[in-house]
Amino acid sequence: MSNEPSVFSRIIAREIPADVVFESDAVVAFRDIAPQAPVHLLVVPKTERYRDVVELAAGDPALLAEIVATAKRLADEHTGGEFRLVFNTGASAGQTVFHVHAHLLGGGLPEGTLGH
């Protein structure tokens, strides 16, 4: 594992700008810079401790529940409460930042798509 902070840690530290839509003591949510849906937000815990959702579920289920609750709150505000929540786990599954995060997708996703 790299000793360098993840891009998400750098966003949390405000070293990299982002369009932040929500922040609490434990999580931050911001718009994805390459959206795959009309609404594409990332919900990210402020800790870099967990690489993926499997590690998070085993290590801090309460934090995972907070990510899901935050996603629901944001979906209520941005997508009328209907949404898709995606956690990529592993490079071959599309994970490019190894700091656990959820993709909140919504705003009109046709059945049978993954938001492309």
CA triple 58-68-29, angle to 5 deg = 110
Are the beta carbons of 49 and 6 closer than 8 angstroms? Answer: no
pTM exceeds cut of 0.85: yes
pLDDT band for position 4 (cuts 50, 70, 90): confident
Choosing from 40, 101, 103, 116, which is the catalytic residue? Answer: 101
Helices (H), the chain: 7-12, 53-59, 61-78
Is the pLDDT score of 115 beyond 60? no
Please write the tens of the pLDDT for every residue from 77-113: 999 999 999 999 999 999 999 999 999 999 887 666 6
Beta carbons within 8 Å of 21's beta carbon, 6+ residues apart = 29, 30, 31, 41, 74, 78
Domain 7-106 is in which class?
alpha beta
Please write the tens of the pLDDT for every residue from 14-68: 999 999 999 999 999 999 999 999 999 999 999 999 999 999 999 999 999 999 9
The DSSP element (H or E) to which 20 belongs, if any, is strand 20-23
Q: 97: number of CA atoms within 13 Å, CB side? A: 21
The verdict on whether 78 is a catalytic residue reads no
